[in-house]
Amino acid sequence: MSSDPDLAKLAVDYGLRLGAEYVDARLHRNLEVGCLLKNSSPEPTILVDSNGLGVRVLYRGALAFGATNTPSAQSVKDLVEEVVKRAKASIRLVGEPILFSSEEMGSGYWSAEEKEKLEDVNVQTMLKNLRDLDNVIKDGFHGVPFTNRLLMIETSVEEKLYVNSDGAELQSRVPRVSISSFINASYNGKNYAITIPAGYSSIGESGGWEVVKRLRPETFFKEEGSNLAKAVKCERNPPSEPVDVVLGPDVVGLVAHESSGHPAEADRILGREGAQAGESYLKKNGLGIRVGSSEAYVSDDPTIPNSMGFYLYDEEGVKARKRRLIEAGVIREYLHNRATAQVFSTKSNAASRSVAYNREPIIRMANTYVEPGDYSFEELLEDIKLGVYIKSFMEWNIDDVRFNQRYVGLEAYLIERGELKEGVKAPILEITTPKFWSSLDARGKDLQFRAASCGKGDPMQGAPVWTGGPHIRLRNIRLGGR
């Protein structure tokens, strides 16, 4: 950390002296580098050094957050005074006082696995990687030229020093690397703006520069580029009658995130995000209700090594662990911070995250996924007389209670008598959450993750996450088409 660690302790001590019952302070730095290659020409490289102090206080049940990026002893005192003053002014409107659940507080240093430090990587090396990728895809595939290409590689190093008045004292470091792209593919006089990977996501992990070797981006972009070039040539519409549907891990991970992870966020359930990201179809008494078949298993786990959403302690000093959200089709657990845990008379499961010093910690997912089963891909297909395999997607959305959702396939194939056949154009899965999870009857044993940025909060926070899952099979689904 480049800032003086004593400033965080000063903030906590000073807040307590001003009468707050709880104070936490977080020195939070994100060092980011982004390289872009547009149509084989480099755009300006981007360096960002975001660095400052965020402070939260609870004062007679009123919560206030403040931040400054000019941390000195005086500015920290000024900030704490401002935050306490704002908390005091809001007491009259708080209603039920906000309380934090009692938790064991963490201390010490934790970090993601890292071999080659990102700070030692030259921007020219990053650009060379993009050039190599561009060379792999620039001519397109199968007679489909990739006429426009925007390739991006981003690295970030997130360092935090966190202290609170309940005794937490933590330092951490998480480096991350991700690669993404926009491509315009031309075929038959039409243009298709697609992304590699599909679905506006990226390939990415936490770790140092060795991540790039693990990701094998050239192989990935070549395979994905080739598959997507074939996909844009498809003209056949999906069957209009109800059919069995096999979904690829990219789609499954997104569904897990959107229709299982988000509705399980306890702050949404309690209405705190009502005017922004929305609420939830799940209610406060929703634990134990059935929303899916006995094959529906969804978890969120911040502790997966190398994951984008990796952490070992959350932004409230609570130790992270895996959370099983849906178990055999039944809602098993919500995502909690200390405030919602208190309301639900439970313990926090360490879901409190903040992406920068000037953002309030709020309940977030980390790495949300459908747990793998025991089917091979061939076994998922073998008894399907007529079906559709949706491997990847582009368009998706879901309503603000996470009930009514839609995923539009990009790479998709017809399934006939247990075998993959010709490509299908843009099959649309427009379905409710219970219908989706109730139609699930088999899960593959493969498990793959994709990197994504999850948006929530006001001001907005884009949190690094993984979404993942195996191939899964849904029975008897009516698909739409454009």
User: Is 194 a residue that touches another protein (CB under 8 A)?
Assistant: yes
Q: Please tell me the distance from the alpha carbon of residue 328 to that of residue 326, in angstroms, as a whole number.
A: 7
Residues 6 or more apart from 204 whose CB is under 8 A from it? 176, 177, 178, 179, 211, 215, 308, 451, 464
User: Is 226 a residue that touches another protein (CB under 8 A)?
Assistant: no
Give the total residue count for the chain: 482
Position among 398, 412, 424, 463 found at the interface with another protein (CB under 8 A)? 398
Q: Which position has the token pair 């939260």?
A: 56
Q: Within positions 5 to 64, which residues make up the interface with another protein, using CB under 8 A?
A: 36, 38-39, 41-52, 62-64
Position among 74, 188, 189, 190 found at the interface with another protein (CB under 8 A)? 190
Query: Smaller CB distance to another protein: residue 78 or 446?
Result: 78
Determine the interface stretch with another protein among 142-150, 172-180, 248-256, 326-334 (rule: CB under 8 A): 142-150
Query: Smaller CB distance to another protein: residue 165 or 299?
Result: 165
295 and 373 Cβ atoms separated by less than 8 Å = yes
127 and 43 Cβ atoms separated by less than 8 Å = no
Tokens (6 digits) for 65: 């957050």
State how beta strands 367-370 and 461-469 pair.
parallel
SS3 410: coil
Rounded to the nearest whole angstrom, what is the least distance from the CB of residue 458 to another protein in the complex? Answer: 5
SS3 41: strand
Determine the interface stretch with another protein among 295-303, 341-349, 381-389, 425-433 (rule: CB under 8 A): 425-433
Q: Please tell me the distance from the alpha carbon of residue 10 to that of residue 13, in angstroms, as a whole number.
A: 5
Rounded to the nearest whole angstrom, what is the least distance from the CB of residue 261 to another protein in the complex? Answer: 16
SS3 395: strand
User: Is 73 a residue that touches another protein (CB under 8 A)?
Assistant: no
Position among 247, 264, 270, 414 found at the interface with another protein (CB under 8 A)? 270
Q: Within positions 447 to 476, which residues make up the interface with another protein, using CB under 8 A?
A: 458-460
Q: Please tell me the distance from the alpha carbon of residue 32 to that of residue 29, in angstroms, as a whole number.
A: 10
Rounded to the nearest whole angstrom, what is the least distance from the CB of residue 362 to another protein in the complex? Answer: 9
Determine the interface stretch with another protein among 5-13, 211-219, 341-349, 398-406 (rule: CB under 8 A): 398-406
Rounded to the nearest whole angstrom, what is the least distance from the CB of residue 269 to another protein in the complex? Answer: 12
Position among 191, 219, 240, 376 found at the interface with another protein (CB under 8 A)? 191
Q: Within positions 336 to 395, which residues make up the interface with another protein, using CB under 8 A?
A: 357-358, 360, 394-395
DSSP secondary structure string for all residues of 299-353:
EE-TT-TT-TT--SB-TTSPBP--EEEEETTEE---B--HHHHHHTTS---S-EE
Distances from the Cα of 231 to the Cαs of 236, 251, 409, 424, in angstroms? 11, 16, 10, 8
Determine the interface stretch with another protein among 243-251, 275-283, 323-331, 342-350 (rule: CB under 8 A): 275-283
Query: Smaller CB distance to another protein: residue 94 or 420?
Result: 94
Query: Smaller CB distance to another protein: residue 320 or 428?
Result: 428
Position among 245, 431, 447, 452 found at the interface with another protein (CB under 8 A)? 431
Q: Please tell me the distance from the alpha carbon of residue 325 to that of residue 386, in angstroms, as a whole number.
A: 32
User: Is 284 a residue that touches another protein (CB under 8 A)?
Assistant: no
Query: Smaller CB distance to another protein: residue 48 or 214?
Result: 48
Cis before 5 (ω within 30): no
Position among 102, 274, 382, 419 found at the interface with another protein (CB under 8 A)? 274
313 and 106 Cβ atoms separated by less than 8 Å = yes
Query: Smaller CB distance to another protein: residue 64 or 312?
Result: 64
Rounded to the nearest whole angstrom, what is the least distance from the CB of residue 446 to another protein in the complex? Answer: 26
User: Is 127 a residue that touches another protein (CB under 8 A)?
Assistant: yes
Position among 68, 164, 201, 280 found at the interface with another protein (CB under 8 A)? 68
Rounded to the nearest whole angstrom, what is the least distance from the CB of residue 397 to another protein in the complex? Answer: 4
Rounded to the nearest whole angstrom, what is the least distance from the CB of residue 126 to another protein in the complex? Answer: 10
DSSP secondary structure string for all residues of 171-206:
EEEEEEEEEEEEEEEEETTEEEEEESSTTT-BEEEE
Q: Please tell me the distance from the alpha carbon of residue 215 to that of residue 219, in angstroms, as a whole number.
A: 9
Position among 10, 269, 426, 451 found at the interface with another protein (CB under 8 A)? 426
The binding track of 78-97 with respect to another protein, each residue x by CB under 8 A or -, is -x--xx-xxx-xx-xxxxx-
6 and 53 Cβ atoms separated by less than 8 Å = no
Position among 135, 147, 240, 294 found at the interface with another protein (CB under 8 A)? 147
